[in-house]
Chains A and B, each alone.
Chain A
Amino acid sequence: MSTTFWIILAGAIATYLTRVGGHLVISRFENIHPRVEAGLNAVPAAVLTTLVAPAVLGAGPAEWAALVVTALVSLRGGLMSMFLAGAAVLIIARQFVG
């Protein structure tokens, strides 16, 4: 078995642990401390931001234009429309900026 296979298998087990783990932990407690709940509520924004921020810093004008359009479309549209708008701007801008 290749290293890649073991990475996939271990990643699958780790992922399943996150999907079942919250229930297993919470079902042991009668009440959740408000600060723990606040921390858990912040997890999605906190994690996803870290996947964007360093990429934004290292990007150029074409990428920045795409991100600005993505953010603007997000005010009205859903995830799909904002993604398509951002991707379209990126592809067009790269024809000029490279």
Chain B
Amino acid sequence: MVTEAISESRTGGDFWDGVRLSMPVVVASAPFAILFGAIAVDNGFSVLEAFLMSALIFGGASQMVGIELFGQHVAPWLIVLSIFAVNFRHVLYSAGIGRRIAHWPLLQQALGYFILTDPQFAVAEARAVSGKPVGFVWYLGLGLPVYVFWVIESGLGAVFGKLIPDTHALGIDFLLPIYFLGLVLGFRKRPLWLPVVAASAAASIIAYKTVGSPWHVSIGAVAGVLLAVILPPHHSGIGERP
């Protein structure tokens, strides 16, 4: 009984440790959740649909791309493919975090992968590298507040976004490229970053002018990835360690 009580209080502590770490993410993602709701309604989504998209997809960049293409009346299958293309980076996170959470029960793993966002991966991976265990309760404490606030704020943005009078003056149509540029620059310390960015930028612009949207995303991405694959692996900082 004593052991049970101790492990229970530890579990609670783990949860709140995770919640504390989630707070910066909750604050930073709030404007984007509200912005998503507002743009979604602006592009023809109902409030319920904006809410559902946040609850079921839970991936900011892909949701923004999805509603942008929806507003341009792109074919539904292309919208889904574009969401998949934008979220394809999660394959990386999934492969990385799998080593840390493979010992969880299957249902917990299934839920863990559902809330695997960029910050979720970064914070969990940092904890694993520091030698601490990545437990389900801690992981849930980190991810659950981000999810709950994301969904609620998306709904709020959808309802109150109509009150924003002049979206052009407020720059809402160009906030996303700024946000994405910020994300691109956040990866700038990775090996081969500049060549990959240059290749992807050139290929996506050419594809945008010739083939058209949204193929420029996939074509540009493939160009950058192929460059990294073709160059000898030591350029990517791989195989340097003995």
Judging by beta carbons under 8 Å apart, are A38 and B181 in contact?
no
Residues of B within 8 A of A8 (CB): 49, 52-53, 56-57
Complex alpha-carbon distance, A52 and B205, angstroms: 10
Asked, given contacts A12-B56, A20-B113, A48-B180, whether A43 binds B88 with beta carbons under 8 Å apart, the answer is yes
A75 to B219, CA, bound (A): 29
- Asked if A38 and B76 make an inter-chain contact with CB atoms under 8 angstroms apart, the answer reads no
Within 8 A of A (CB), among B172-191: 174-188, 190-191
Asked if residues A15 and B84 are in contact (CB atoms below 8 Å), the reply is yes
Q: Which residue of B lies closest to A71 (CB)?
A: B185
- Do residues B88 and A38 form an inter-chain contact, with CB atoms below 8 A? no
- The one of A34, A43, A52, A87 in contact with B92, judged by C-beta atoms closer than 8 angstroms, is A43
Shortest distance between the CB of A89 and any CB in chain B (Å): 9
Question: Is A70's CB under 8 angstroms from B190's CB?
Answer: no
Chain B interface residue bracket vs A: 35 or more
Residue pair A52, B180 in contact (C-beta under 8 Å): yes
A66 contact set on B, CB distance < 8 A? 171, 174, 178
Chain B residues with CB under 8 Å of A23's CB are: 94-95, 97-98, 102, 113
Please classify how large the interface on chain A is, using the bins under 10, 10 to 19, 20 to 34, 35 or more. Answer: 35 or more
CB–CB B229/A79 < 8 A = no
Q: Is the beta-carbon distance between B236 and A43 smaller than 8 angstroms? A: no
B152 within 8 A of A: no
Known A41-B228, A42-B236, A48-B180: A27·B89 in contact at CB below 8 Å:
no
Q: A12: which B residues are within 8 A, CB to CB? A: 56-57
Interface string of B83-95 (1 = CB under 8 A from A): 1111111111111
**B224 and A45 form a contact (CB under 8 A):** yes
**Cβ contact within 8 Å between B229 and A35:** yes
A22, A59, A83: the one contacting B93 at CB < 8 Å is: A22
Residues of B close to A20: CB separation below 8 A: 94, 110, 113
- Contact status B45-A91, CB under 8 Å: no
Tell me whether A43 and B185 are in contact in the complex, defined as CB-CB below 8 angstroms, given that A8-B57, A54-B216, A90-B175 are known contacts: no
Interchain CB contact under 8 A, A15 and B59: yes
A86 to chain B, nearest CB (A): 4
Chain B residue, CB-CB nearest to A23: B98
Question: Are A49 and B184 within 8 A (Cβ)?
Answer: yes
Q: A4-B70, A18-B94, A66-B174 are in contact. List 16 more A-B contacts (CB 8 A).
A: A7-B66, A7-B80, A8-B56, A15-B87, A19-B113, A21-B94, A38-B236, A40-B91, A41-B228, A45-B184, A46-B196, A50-B220, A54-B213, A70-B182, A86-B181, A90-B178
| Residues on A facing B (Cβ under 8 Å) | 2-12, 14-27, 34-57, 59, 63, 66-67, 70-71, 74, 79-80, 82-83, 86-87, 90-91, 94-95
